Structure 1
């Protein structure tokens, strides 16, 4: 069939009910769409079969990961143009999207075009999902074993790969960017400033005991022990992270002050701690377990101890029961991950007994951080593919770019919530002046 791009453009515009904001280049080298726009490259007919058998975001995601579709041009611009038509990160509702697509395909005006698409797609056999797709688990969410498997899917993909993306800091959470004189000028500086801000909010002092929940590659405990003289325990469910963190700690000569464990927060029984940091970990907890998470951390703290909960948040919905986890993120990035509005997070911390004392929203900082990670990945693309797989590298590039735009568009945010296990006396231990973290 000649002019596959033109026919695909016509069908897409019929289904979407709007002009297609990108060009299409098909496998027959035909092109269609607005001149100068980013180009959606449809490399083969298999891409169409993926969309036919899984209409909506999951079909597109599988086609992207498998390399059946690609973007020629600025990825951020292409995603920004397509976001409002296909998904908005954190608020996607795949089932209604599929139903709308099927209703559109049933309209008499495009039935002929749909038949053309079926003929273009080739054999009516669903393609196998890419190997990078997470194995689907059955049974209750957020059991100890299921959480460990979910964490392994995302984090145990190779420390060398993460070094390329994250840079020397090896911090996989939102950095803290400054403005003007003295502000962070590099990703490494911004990550150091974030870690130091958390240490100051926690009021860390020499000799205190810190627990870092979801310690990653050990950057927080290293900074806290080296700069503030604390004794620290870092826990992670990733064997690869733990191995890497222990080596860093040994190389820094801090093995006598820092312990790294492969352990779930529900398995800690050697409290109390003076302070707890949880940086980019609570997104994995899930709403069914969040009350348990908050109560567990409260019980691990001494009276007067502080918790710094650094967590991504989504916008609240009019009907919270309609919330569905983004299919691409769930299948390829963070299996079983869930986002909650910041108000719910603060409320559940207080229900557990905490006194919430401060909340700092740093949404724009995460957009800047993600753009730096994407730039790192693109600059080391060949090495990233060699260390993982072409599909895995494509997953990381798409998810980080799409999330950067979601932070910029205020679809998701990130907040540092400082909470205190205030003793019965009512003395919080915080300085009277707001945001003076001397304690």
Structure 2
């Protein structure tokens, strides 16, 4: 054996590192540990762990992000150490560096023999671990039946699990943080109150909450602003939980929770409509219908608060594709649109958009709090929903936090009004008057 071979023995980890460098055109910026315990790469940071050689086969069968996601969900890939640091390093190598050489078909083809040699002659199981968490689609996209199924896939996984992640507020959208706010519950209460003030809620008004979740907004609006509220959701588990909260607070005479598609709400008009974290489920093809419906549900002078995640516009919008991991395992059929397109569609419906507030950094902070809660209660989370789903939620929330921090996606509150014929929109002369109450 040569001196070089003794100093730098060829191990599974070193072979994998070399192969990754050939594929991506750059060294892997993380320490790598293979299934045989061998390690290669830089020290002092997080470690990418390939727990089983099946991970290579999954990548071969589904090249790109989906193959890696399937390996992660199955537990064949893992990260030891700071997950955010690991994802940042990988994003900088693969997605965020404009001069990074893409993994071409020819490069992948050249790597196949080595990948097969490393993965060995092990057939994949018929149903890989965790695949029960992958959404199976039937019927036309964004039909009412398919939307019910998609919502159930994400939300009907157990209210106890969501309590663990979200905390007592049970609000599944970004909180609003202030200079003296470091508590998740307080930040979520601040967000709910900001929405109510933007909507100008007053005693006796009617509020419709489209996609009401576990009922936090309608409860807040009824308790603190005296409104009569209707909350609609497609999730039976959310509705059951929200109704229990309403009954506990003795608000059944003022708050109604329905399992109902927003397209079937016919008992307008409402003085205000809130849509918080729901419009991402609507889909581009249905968004004009969504905007038209909300316009018709408002009385003249009524306000809409549309709180929605947005992506950056593309030079060629026809190239937009939904993130394959999110689509398969997290939010089936979810779509993001640039905020400019959303404004245009709302105004085409007849609404007048009067204010837009970006809460991008607020969502990053919120997600980091959710991830922290999940990690602190990891064993309990696994008992509640299984290891695969817990791994899905941890990865998607951590990756989403980084996406918000880097400005790749944002979240905006759009305040719109159904302006009456006389032009009196019933808004304050200074549209941001509500901000003074939170500064």
Please report how far the alpha carbon of residue 139 of structure 1 lies from its aligned counterpart in structure 2 after TM superposition: 4.0
- 1:102 matched to which residue of 2? 105
Unaligned runs of 5+ residues in structure 1 are 89-95
Contact 1:21 1:37 in 2 (8 A): no
Please report how far the alpha carbon of residue 409 of structure 1 lies from its aligned counterpart in structure 2 after TM superposition: 0.4
The total of aligned residue pairs comes to: 421
Say which structure, 1 or 2, has more relative contact order (CA 8 Å, 6+ apart).
1
Structure 2: distance between partners of 1:138 and 1:120: 37
Stretch deviating more after TM superposition (26-35 or 289-298): 26-35
Correspondence for 2:202 among 192, 202, 205: 205
Q: For 1:346-385, list aligned pairs within 5 A.
A: 346-385=343-382
Structure 2: distance between partners of 1:335 and 1:69: 23
Counterpart of 1:321 in 2: which secondary structure?
helix
Structure 2: distance between partners of 1:322 and 1:33: 35
Please report how far the alpha carbon of residue 114 of structure 1 lies from its aligned counterpart in structure 2 after TM superposition: 4.0
- 1:272 matched to which residue of 2? 269
2:92 matches 1:84 = yes
Please report how far the alpha carbon of residue 132 of structure 1 lies from its aligned counterpart in structure 2 after TM superposition: 3.8
Structure 1: distance between partners of 2:401 and 2:254: 36
Report Cα offsets for 1:3-56 as digits up to 9, x if no partner.
111000000011001121111100111101111121100001111110111111
TM-score (normalised: structure 2)? 0.93
Unaligned runs of 5+ residues in structure 2 are 1-8
Please report how far the alpha carbon of residue 185 of structure 1 lies from its aligned counterpart in structure 2 after TM superposition: 2.6
- 1:143 matched to which residue of 2? 143
TM-score (normalised: structure 1)? 0.93
Structure 2: distance between partners of 1:422 and 1:345: 18
Contact 2:295 2:349 in 1 (8 A): yes
2:25 matches 1:17 = yes
RMSD: 1.6
2:13 matches 1:5 = yes
- 1:164 matched to which residue of 2? 164
Decide whether aligned partners of structure 1 residues 339 and 379 sit closer, same or farther in structure 2, where only a CA change above 3 A counts: same
Please report how far the alpha carbon of residue 62 of structure 1 lies from its aligned counterpart in structure 2 after TM superposition: 0.5
Contact 1:53 1:126 in 2 (8 A): no
Q: For 1:407-418, list aligned pairs within 5 A.
A: 407-418=404-415
Contact 1:212 1:235 in 2 (8 A): yes
Runs of 4+ in 1 over 6 A off after TM superposition: none
- 1:93 matched to which residue of 2? none
Structure 1: distance between partners of 2:122 and 2:289: 47
Contact 2:60 2:112 in 1 (8 A): no
